Amino acid sequence: MSEQGARPAATAGVMTAAAVVYALAAIYLPMLTMMMGLLWPVFIALVTVREGLRWGMLAAAASLLLTMLFATPVTGAFFVLSFAPTGLVLGALFRRGADPMRALVGGGLASLAGKAAAAGMMFLIFGLNPFDISMANETMDETLAVYRSLGMNEAQLEETRAASAQVLELFVLMLPALFLGSSVIEVTACFVVLRKVLHRLGIPAARLPAFTEWRLPVFFSYLFAFSLIGIYWGTTRDIAWLYQAALNGYLISFIAGLVQGISLMQFLMQRFQVSSFVRVLIYVFIALNGFMAQIISWTGLFDIAVDYRKKFRKSQ
């Protein structure tokens, strides 16, 4: 093999080995699987950026086979299918010099496609449907049976069953928004880490704007307003699909508003030179207080529409 062909093979081999070891560590630490999995695409993205999409796909395929070999086949396939598309698309867009927003959108869509492929595989093999709550209800019945054997009375059991069923139903209804949120978190984390690694390697890569300058599309403000209407109509007119769609839209717009609101708050705290200790206290208070988080989210949604920072700069 020529030197020109050996370098890509060596790079792909080293990164594949690292990716497999990392994947096995994530798989055998169940409580950290998803958290560690968020950064797994970086290995595939590095190969793609440095050597091209073909080598990235070969590294992903090799990682798939080795992870299936050393873990269980289903677990290995589920893990790699969930995260490899993010690395391939993000690496390809970095290699082409795409702007950060395009890279994030492309990587987010690839992440959703990967999660859908992994869920489809589980459905075909085991018939597991994430939107079917029958299995969860069976597990809840088994848990309540244990509580009954420990002496819990029937009234308490019924209250627990009703509360658990309501939470479970709400969780299933919000699954699409939760999948979308996890994809956004995954691609953002990978973007930040990948850019830092490329910078260390001397490879130029566009950076995200400063957090205090973030401005999300006005689409989220409209989505919030239409979601409120949809929730009202879906509830009062008993339209199940409208209620679910509106509920997911509300959650997505709420998170977007929260990010925008925290960005605005960070901008104002920098302007007024609030100390780091006080900032930490404020963020902790928001994290622990749902009502304050809601206020921040609403403020952020209004900021998306009217741009308070622009008005503030003009007044200075």
173, two tokens: 């209804």
For residue 232, is pLDDT > 80? yes
Identify whether the C-beta of residue 266 lies closer than 8 Å to the C-beta of residue 307.
no
pLDDT band at 170 (very low <50, low <70, confident <90, very high): confident
> What pLDDT band is residue 99 in, cutting at 50, 70 and 90?
confident
User: Which two tokens mark 262?
Assistant: 């925290």
pLDDT tens readout for residues 9-52 = 777 778 888 888 888 888 887 666 777 788 899 999 999 998 88
Residue 217: phi and psi, rounded to 5, are -60, 150
pLDDT reported for residue 2: 46
Of the two residues 77 and 129, the one the predictor is more confident about is: 77
The Cα–Cα gap between 283 and 215 comes to 20
Work out the percent of the chain whose per-residue pLDDT is above 70: 89
Dist. CA 260–CA 256, nearest whole Å: 6
Q: Residue 47 in contact with residue 15, Cβ under 8 Å? A: yes
Beta-carbon contacts of residue 143 (< 8 Å; ≥ 6 apart): none
The separation between CA 202 and the C-alpha centre of its own chain, rounded to angstroms, equals 28
Give the pair of three-digit tokens for residue 111. Answer: 């992440």
